[in-house]
Amino acid sequence: MTDERHLMVPADWNGAESLFECTVEGCGRRLVLDHVGARLVVVHPGSGSALHQGSTGLVAMSGTVRPGVPRAS
């Protein structure tokens, strides 16, 4: 495991979802935290060798990215 750590900060919020972006130049990791549906969606994975950390204030996020399961139509 790497000791490389990147900070994710809120870049936008619409009341139901928060967009988070990595602060490390060149990484490009972006994700959306769905507050209503309790989902975390990775928009762009960024550096796979770094541990990305961030917070919405009272709720801290950390963990492993797992591929999503497609929804039934």
Q: 26-47, pLDDT tens digit by residue?
A: 999 999 988 888 888 999 999 9
Nearest one of 56, 29, 63, 55 to 43, comparing CA atoms: 29
pLDDT for position 54: 84
Q: 47-73, pLDDT tens digit by residue?
A: 988 999 887 766 655 666 666 665 555
Helix (H) or strand (E) holding 60: strand 60-61
DSSP states along 28-51: --EEEEETTTTEEEEEE---TTSE
* Cβ-contact 5, 51 below 8 angstroms: yes
Residue 1 pLDDT more than 70?
Answer: no
pTM above 0.85, yes or no: no
pLDDT for position 38: 81
Give the strand pairing for 5-13 and 51-55: parallel
Residues linked to residue 9 through DSSP beta bridges, in sequence order: 21
